[in-house]
């Protein structure tokens, strides 16, 4: 077997597999090359994938001065804007994280909890027993509206509504399937006018900017203390030097939150419903726990339910929304597990592969939330939200939201998959989704079982 820092040449077919079906590519590569390996794609793009927990620990605990984050996000092109968290140098990155984190943690969650439940209830109003629906279209209505309200917060005035439409279009285009090809094949990133995908994307970003700047100016002139959205909170947030974010920084971070926060949460929820309805014993155990809740309006208590928490953890293990952590490009030569990597080497922690290691997760292809009851995995074995200083800023909010959506739907309706065959996976942004739409049927209104023994 080659040392982990020596590349294995890949064919065009393998490049296309990596772009279109990255989970299969990662599984096949582990079989061929072992847990940690380097590949060279046509076009001389060399990437090292790490999935052994010790190697992941090495890369996630290497001092941040060792990396060139600007180069690390080159692959994403203008998707990651100049002042986005993902592109910033060390000092600005720290500063932005300090400003953003409070908006996505702690007491703020209670404010968002009611909104999440209301949006889910509104979506379910379309359901009748016997109807079938495309699960993604339903989940999307909740996750999209919640994210837009939480991040920007809209009113009924004309500019606000235009801004909402522009945000929607931006999210939709960046999460379309063909956008994935544009991300990994930079020669496609050319502006061929408003009818081309790339041209439309660039114009939408501009349009968004032109709508957001006056919105920021207005919110600064007429502060409204009733607003609870992240944009408003960031407008008044100050760093240690007493400085606020500039309007350019605000705009870029708002776009970052919209683009990182939507698909990840939507896909995970989709997989959670899929796995629960393929695994009756897991669904039964979850329902017993849901039925034991005496006050369904107590969102804090709901989000602390052990089996519900384990269900979300197991979903993010088996189908992580982001298969590989953000690329880490070395700014200086560095040793990883004793192997010397030259400056410029591109290293990706493989979340998907680390979370399917047989040694840590027996029968890794099986959905078993019980794995997470009474057992804690190390942050290098279980890392659906990445790790180190680039750890996902939205992880608390995302988990809070996913638990509440799952709880609200399952405590009201009984559902079934209309097709019980296993699904094929295809790339969707940084993760994978079922190749065909997941369709479900509403089989009954859920009747709460009283006095159900809960065994968690
Ligand atoms: C199931 C939901 C989600 C998953 C699985 C997820 C996963 C991840 C992962 C793996 C990373 C890269 C971390 C690394 O390379 O170490 C990341 C980064 C990030 N995520 Fe999430 N995410 C989710 C939801 C969200 C939400 C809801 C938001 C915001 C509203 C968000 C905002 C971000 C941002 C801004 C970064 C970049 C952080 C930085 O570079 O400092 N994510 N996420």
Q: Are 334 and 66 in contact (CB under 8 A)?
A: yes
Q: 393 C-alpha to center of ligand 1: Å?
A: 6
441 phi and psi, to 5 degrees?
Answer: -120, 140
CA distance 106 to 429: 29
Q: Where do the domains of the chain lie, and which CATH numbers do they carry?
A: 7-445 (1.10.630.10)
Ligand 1 mean position, distance from CA 419 (Å)? 31
**Residues 197-243 pLDDT 10s:** 999 999 999 999 999 999 999 999 998 888 889 999 999 888 888 88
State which ligand 1 atom lies nearest to the alpha carbon of 322: 10
Confidence of residue 302 (pLDDT cuts 50, 70, 90): very high
pLDDT band at 450 (very low <50, low <70, confident <90, very high): low
Query: Are 316 and 367 a contacting pair, CB within 8 Å?
Result: no
Smallest CA separation from ligand 1 atom 39, residue: 390
Assess whether the C-beta atom of 324 lies below 6 angstroms from ligand 1.
no
Instruction: Tell me the sheet residues that pair with 72.
Output: none
Dump pLDDT digits (tens) for 137-152.
999 999 999 999 999 9
Q: What is the pLDDT of residues 70-98, one digit of tens each?
A: 888 877 777 788 899 988 888 899 999 99
Quote the ligand 1 centre to 128 CA distance (angstroms).
Answer: 35
Find the helix or strand (DSSP H, E) in which 351 lies: helix 351-354
Q: Distance (Å, rounded) from C-alpha 30 to C-alpha 39?
A: 11
CA trace torsion 146, 304, 391, 311 (10° rounding): -90
Residue 322 Cβ < 6 Å to ligand 1: yes
Query: Which pair of tokens denotes residue 87?
Result: 């592109």
Atom from ligand 1 closest to the CA of residue 431:
5
Report the share of the chain in percent with pLDDT over 70: 98
Q: 50, 38 in Cβ contact below 8 A?
A: no
Q: Which of 151, 385, 391, 405 to mutate to test the pocket of ligand 1 (most atoms within 8 A of CB)?
A: 385
Q: Is the CB–ligand 1 distance for residue 405 below 6 Å?
A: no
Instruction: Name the helix (H) or strand (E) containing 350.
Output: none
Task: Return all residues near 392 (Cβ < 8 A) that are at least 6 apart.
Answer: 260, 385, 386, 398
The model's pTM: 0.94
Residues 6 or more apart whose Cβ sits within 8 Å of residue 447: none
414 is written with which tokens?
């009984």
Name the E strands within 42-99. 45-50
Tens digits of residue pLDDT in 37-64: 999 999 888 999 999 999 999 999 999 8
241: tokens are 């030097």
DSSP 50: E
Ligand 1 contact, 430 CB (< 6 A) = no
The residue nearest atom 7 of ligand 1, judged by CA position, is 385
């Amino acid at each position: 077997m080659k040392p982990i820092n020596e590349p294995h040449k890949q064919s065009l077919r393998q490049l296309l597999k990596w772009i279109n079906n990255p989970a299969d590519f990662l599984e096949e590569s582990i079989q061929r090359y072992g847990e940690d390996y380097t590949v060279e794609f046509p076009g001389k793009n060399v990437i090292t994938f790490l999935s052994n927990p010790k190697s992941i620990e090495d890369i996630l605990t290497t001092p941040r001065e060792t990396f060139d984050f600007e180069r690390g996000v080159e692959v994403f092109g203008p998707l990651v804007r100049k002042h986005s968290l993902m592109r910033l140098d060390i000092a600005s990155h720290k500063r932005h994280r300090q400003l953003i984190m409070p908006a996505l943690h702690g007491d703020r969650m209670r404010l968002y909890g009611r909104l999440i439940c209301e949006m889910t209830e509104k979506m379910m109003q379309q359901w009748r027993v016997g109807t079938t629906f495309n699960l993604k279209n339903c989940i999307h209505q909740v996750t999209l509206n919640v994210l837009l309200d939480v991040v920007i917060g809209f009113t009924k005035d004309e500019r606000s509504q235009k801004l909402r439409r522009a945000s929607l279009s931006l999210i939709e285009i960046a999460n379309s399937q063909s956008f994935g090809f544009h991300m990994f094949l930079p020669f496609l990133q050319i502006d061929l006018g408003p009818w081309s995908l790339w041209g439309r994307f660039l114009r939408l970003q501009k349009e968004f900017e032109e709508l957001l700047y006056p919105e920021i100016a207005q919110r600064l002139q007429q502060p409204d203390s009733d607003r609870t959205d992240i944009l408003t909170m960031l407008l008044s947030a100050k760093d240690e030097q007493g400085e606020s974010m500039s309007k350019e920084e605000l705009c870029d971070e708002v776009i970052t939150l919209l683009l990182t926060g939507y698909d990840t949460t939507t896909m995970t929820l989709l997989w959670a419903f899929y796995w629960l309805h393929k695994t009756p014993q897991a669904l039964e155990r979850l329902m017993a726990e849901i039925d034991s809740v005496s006050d369904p309006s107590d969102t804090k208590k709901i989000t602390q339910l052990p089996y519900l928490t384990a269900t979300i953890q197991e979903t993010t293990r088996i189908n992580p929304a982001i298969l590989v952590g953000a690329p880490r490009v070395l700014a200086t030569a560095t040793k990883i597990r004793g192997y010397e990597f030259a400056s410029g080497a591109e290293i990706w922690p493989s979340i998907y592969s680390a979370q399917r290691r047989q040694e840590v997760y027996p029968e890794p292809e099986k959905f078993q939330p019980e794995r997470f009851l009474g057992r804690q995995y190390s942050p290098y074995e279980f890392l659906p939200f990445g790790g180190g200083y680039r750890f996902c800023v939205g992880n608390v909010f995302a988990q809070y939201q996913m638990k509440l959506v799952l709880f609200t739907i399952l405590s009201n309706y009984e559902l079934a998959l209309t097709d019980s065959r296993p699904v094929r996976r295809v790339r969707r942004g940084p993760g994978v989704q079922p190749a065909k739409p997941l369709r479900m049927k509403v089989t009954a209104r859920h009747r709460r079982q009283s006095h159900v023994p809960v065994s968690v």
